[in-house]
A = this chain, B = another copy of it.
């Protein structure tokens, strides 16, 4: 099961981090972006940048998270760069989390699931378009909008990360609202996620249906970690958004398992702060982040 393989790789590498390929044109070194005047050129530049990052980190991090918005803004050419980035990362052995936060009613959710996790129907045959290992989704619409993704997780051995408590400053406006029964909206969403994952629980006790829980909200993370025993967390917010290792300790269990921490700008743009080539600086930033997490998590081991 995909979540088991991810956990095994995290243990083998002693590194629960993923590199966020939220690649923006102005993150690129001057010589890679100078004169980019079309979406096709932009897409080519992003892909070239991503490939060098992937080459440089693929032996020390288990996964990349590719944020589709940064590619989608370049239209069809951008989608090609997204898909080529996904394919390249997979080829290099990385787990790929497609960060798309998709959501819709069931029939439409099925199309999104086809795009990122499953297969797309042609006339009398199917084709795999992205084949990502994991997809982020938003479950504001409830179970029938989630079911097509769950079906593909079972059929194609994929996983999900569902928005529960997001890392942004305004996340509490809706997510922290207190319900009449005493729970918050985000807790309620967390319980729903735990339920959706019940049939997809793997050998290490975590299911293929995970939750997005921001590193920037340690108190809420502690509540969720204490209640969602089978839910693996995708943890954004480390680095540029203000989250640090001590804050995200609450996202993990006593064995240092239970989550994977994303860092995007802190890795992609490390060269601006620390010098060197962008890909060497990205590798150094990954190693520094690994050490930082190890300082609070200790040795990561299976239960």
Chain A residues close to B by CB (< 8 Å)? 22, 24-26, 33-39, 41-42, 67, 69-70, 72-80, 83, 101-106, 108-109, 111-112, 114-115, 120-123, 125, 127, 129-130, 138-145, 163, 166-175, 177-180, 182, 185, 188-189, 192, 236, 241
Asked whether A112 and B72 contact (CB < 8 A) given A33-B123, A104-B101, A123-B34, the answer is yes
Report chain B residues within 8 Å CB of A104: 67, 69, 101
Residue contact B74 to A120, C-beta cutoff 8 Å: yes
Query: Would you call B111 and A173 a contact (CB within 8 A)?
Result: no
Q: A111 — which chain B residues lie within 8 A by C-beta?
A: 24, 67, 69-70, 72-73
For A105, give its contact among B115, B125, B166 (CB under 8 Å). B166
Residues of B within 8 A of A25 (CB): 121-123
Which B residues are CB-close (under 8 A) to A24? 111
> How many whole Å from A163's CB to the nearest CB in chain B?
6
Q: In the complex, are the beta carbons of A37 and B140 less than 8 A apart?
A: no
B72 to A115, Cβ gap below 8 A?
yes
Q: List 18 A-B contacts (CB under 8 A).
A: A26-B121, A37-B122, A38-B127, A42-B120, A72-B115, A73-B111, A74-B120, A75-B79, A76-B79, A76-B80, A103-B138, A105-B168, A141-B174, A142-B171, A142-B172, A142-B174, A142-B175, A145-B168
Whether B121 contacts A143 by the Cβ 8 Å rule is no
Question: Contact check: which of B69, B130, B144 meets A170 at CB < 8 Å?
Answer: B144
In angstroms, Cα B121 to Cα A24, docked, is: 9
Contacts of A179 in B (CB 8 A): 177-180
- Cβ–Cβ < 8 Å partners of A168 in chain B: 105-106, 141-142, 144-145
Pick the most buried of A24, A25, A139, A141: most chain B CB atoms within 10 A of its CB. Answer: A141
How long is the Cα–Cα vector from A37 to B123 in the complex, in angstroms? 6
On chain B, the residues within 8 Å of A114 by CB distance are 73
Closest B residue by C-beta to A75: B129
A189, B169: Cβ atoms closer than 8 Å: no
- Is B192 a contact partner of A174 (Cβ separation < 8 A)? yes
Q: In the complex, what residues of B have CB within 8 A of residue A177's CB? A: 179, 185, 188
Q: Determine the chain B residues whose CB is within 8 A of the CB of A109 once the complex forms.
A: 69
A36 touches B123 (CB 8 A): yes
Please, how many angstroms separate the alpha-carbon atoms of A38 and B24 in the complex? Answer: 30
- Chain B contacts for A145, CB-based, 8 A: 166, 168, 170
In the bound complex, residues from chain B placing their C-beta under 8 Å from that of A26 are: 121
Closest CB of chain B to A126's CB: distance in Å? 11
CA distance A170 to B102 in the complex (A): 17
